[in-house]
Amino acid sequence: MAATDPEPPATTRPSTTARSRAKDHSPWNWLLFVPIVVPLIPVLFNGDSPRILGFPRFYWLQLTYILLGVATTTLVYQMTRKRGGR
């Protein structure tokens, strides 16, 4: 008895949210490169001073990058979200 191949699943249309997300080409999205590129600049890490609360620049700069990423992501989200009712 030969096994029969099941029929391939019917193609389904993507949901509207997936389609609208794929077409979102807002210039605000370019700001998301800022928290990626800024920590890659080695000149910012090259030094011990200034110290803040006894912490060398490297450590408090890492915390600053986290805040930069959160602020940038929040700004881009607020500027690109769709307005209106559900």
Per-residue pLDDT of the chain (86 residues; tens, 9 = 90+): 556 666 666 666 655 565 555 566 888 899 999 999 999 998 888 888 888 888 888 888 999 999 999 999 999 999 998 765 45
Reported pTM: 0.65
Contacting residues for 56 by C-beta, under 8 A, at least 6 apart: 48, 49
Taking residue 68's Cβ as centre, other Cβ atoms within 10 Å add up to 15
| Residue ranges of domains in the chain | 58-85
pLDDT of the residue at 49: 85
Residue type, 56: P
